Amino acid sequence: MALWGKRSDMVVHEREPFNAEPPRGALGEEELTPLDTFYVRNHGPVPALDPAAWRLTVDGLVERPLELSLDALRERFEEAEVVATLQCAGNRRAGLADVRDIPGEDPWGPGATSTARWSGVRLADVLAAAGLLPQAAHIAFAAPDVSTIPDPPQPYGGSVPVAKACSAEVLLAWAMNGRPLPPVHGAPLRVVVPGWIGARSVKWLQRVTARREPSDAYFQATAYRLLPADADPAHAGPGDGISLGPIALNCDILRPGQQHTRLPAGPTEVVGYALAGDDRTVARVDVSLDGGLTWTQADLAPRPARWTWQLWRTTVELPPGEAEITVRAWDSTGATQPESPAHLWNPKGYANNSWARLRLVCG
Ligand code: MTE
Ligand code: MO
């Protein structure tokens, strides 16, 4: 059965709250991810908000607190559009869970990554209208959905530093791929923070608060932080670990589809994505058939827009027997991805950007 308007072959990690990613192959078809294919990451039930009664509060370190209806947002501010890829910090967690168990977190594959054309207004314009005060260093976002996993249950929220919040690319979006924002993606209004972990793109936005400090919402202060490998996440408190912000350089293989697929030996087309965080770009994608001893370069498609992933493709000659395709990307600073998930393992399973590997049986 199609849930929340999604395609029937979504990999559903949880039904309530709904969490699902598209199957690998589905992502590589198009540069913009269709609405029925775009991944969904929810920490609590989807709130039912009445768009007519809904208001956005803008408060904190501003000269003029605002309360804006959707009509007021549309009338007072210039409409803006950004094509951007969202990626969850839990993307590819399955590769970390293979190294060591990660209790309580879903084993996402490479599909917690999707790209859309977002439209709405610039957060910078709304903050300017409210008169952002110079003491403001962080912009916090609050939403009404509540996650019952932490004890006590916690409403969703997060923040980004003022410099990112006031950049031209950060939107308050009411549309996705030219369609009204679907309820499961945050209707009536969500934040879109291109280049940063998906967790900062707060859905069902109700309040924007300018602060001196980052948000103290659970999902900013305690979750989405990189704990040391020997930490016990059940006892992690606010401020422990490293706060995740800009996403890490990453790539994965989207076709041929599944691990351990049987394929004829010989020339085979391999397709995947690569994505660099924040102000970096993907410079090169390398492919290896010998576990990384020697590499050839994949053809990198032009980046569809400033804040998006890039698809890449190459043809490899698969030998008979067992084969393993290994892929890594390089970014515009000359950095590349770490080889092994074993060295990245962390108790909540975030930010797995180790080399992508696909094992096949050929012949
Ligand atoms: N916003 C709210 N209010 N509640 C949430 O659970 N999940 C976050 C973010 N915004 C979340 C949220 C996370 S972790 C991610 S990765 C993205 O939304 C996912 O956006 P999507 O479901 O539209 O793909
Ligand atoms: Mo996420």
Residue 4 forms part of a structural domain: no
Residue 169 forms part of a structural domain: yes
**Residue 237: closest CA among 215, 218, 265:** 218
Q: Which residue's entry shows tokens 């300017």?
A: 128
Judgement on whether residues 30 and 133 belong to the same structural domain of the protein: yes
Query: Which DSSP symbol is given to 91?
Result: T
CA distances from 197 to 30, 86, 220 (A): 22, 7, 11
**Distance in angstroms (rounded) separating the CA atoms of residues 200 and 46:** 17
The CA 84 to ligand 2 mean position distance, Å, reads: 15
Please say which residue of 193, 220, 243 terminates a domain.
Answer: 243
pLDDT digits (tens, 9 = 90+) for 223-271: 999 999 999 998 998 999 999 999 999 999 999 978 888 999 999 999 9
Residue ID of nearest Cα to ligand 1 atom 13? 199
Ligand index nearest the alpha carbon of residue 193: 1
Q: What is the mean pLDDT of the chain?
A: 96
Q: What is the CATH number of the domain that holds 308?
A: 2.60.40.650
Residue 273 forms part of a structural domain: yes
CA dihedral 131, 192, 194, 64 (to 10 degrees): 0
Phi–psi pair at 234, nearest 5 degrees: -65, -25
Total residues belonging to the chain: 363
DSSP-assigned letters across all residues of 262-283: EE-SEEEEEEEEEE--TT--EE
pLDDT of residue 121: 98
Checking ipTM against 0.90, whether it exceeds it is yes
- On the question of pLDDT at 151 being above 60, the answer is yes
pLDDT of residue 259: 85
Residue 63 forms part of a structural domain: yes
The CA 157 to ligand 1 mean position distance, Å, reads: 10
**Distance in angstroms (rounded) separating the CA atoms of residues 247 and 92:** 13
pLDDT of residue 91: 98
Judgement on whether residues 41 and 144 belong to the same structural domain of the protein: yes
Q: What is the CATH number of the domain that holds 214?
A: 3.90.420.10
Residue 113 forms part of a structural domain: yes
pLDDT of residue 137: 98
Ligand 1 pocket test: pick from 3, 10, 88, 141 the residue with the most ligand atoms within 8 Å of its Cβ: 88
Judgement on whether residues 342 and 222 belong to the same structural domain of the protein: no
- On the question of pLDDT at 1 being above 80, the answer is no
Judgement on whether residues 42 and 163 belong to the same structural domain of the protein: yes
Please say which residue of 243, 262, 282 terminates a domain.
Answer: 243
Q: Which atom of ligand 1 is nearest to the CA of 43?
A: 6
Judgement on whether residues 211 and 264 belong to the same structural domain of the protein: no
Other CB atoms within 10 A of residue 18 CB: 18
Please say which residue of 195, 228, 243 terminates a domain.
Answer: 243
Q: Which atom of ligand 1 is nearest to the CA of 219?
A: 14
pLDDT digits (tens, 9 = 90+) for 126-149: 999 999 999 999 999 999 999 998
Once rounded to an integer, what is the mean pLDDT over residues 81-101?
98
Judgement on whether residues 301 and 347 belong to the same structural domain of the protein: yes
Amino acid type, 97: A
Judgement on whether residues 200 and 335 belong to the same structural domain of the protein: no
Q: Enter the tokens of residue 321.
A: 């027997």
The CA 203 to ligand 1 mean position distance, Å, reads: 6
Residue span of the structural domain in which 288 resides: 250-362
Q: Look at the chain and report how many structural domains it folds into.
A: 2
CA distances from 198 to 7, 35, 247 (A): 21, 16, 9
Judgement on whether residues 21 and 170 belong to the same structural domain of the protein: yes
Classify each residue of 139-155 as buried b or exposed e, where b means 16 or more C-beta atoms within 10 Å of its C-beta: bbbbbebebeeeeeebb
The CA 270 to ligand 1 mean position distance, Å, reads: 30
pLDDT digits (tens, 9 = 90+) for 276-315: 989 899 999 999 999 999 999 999 999 989 999 999 999 9
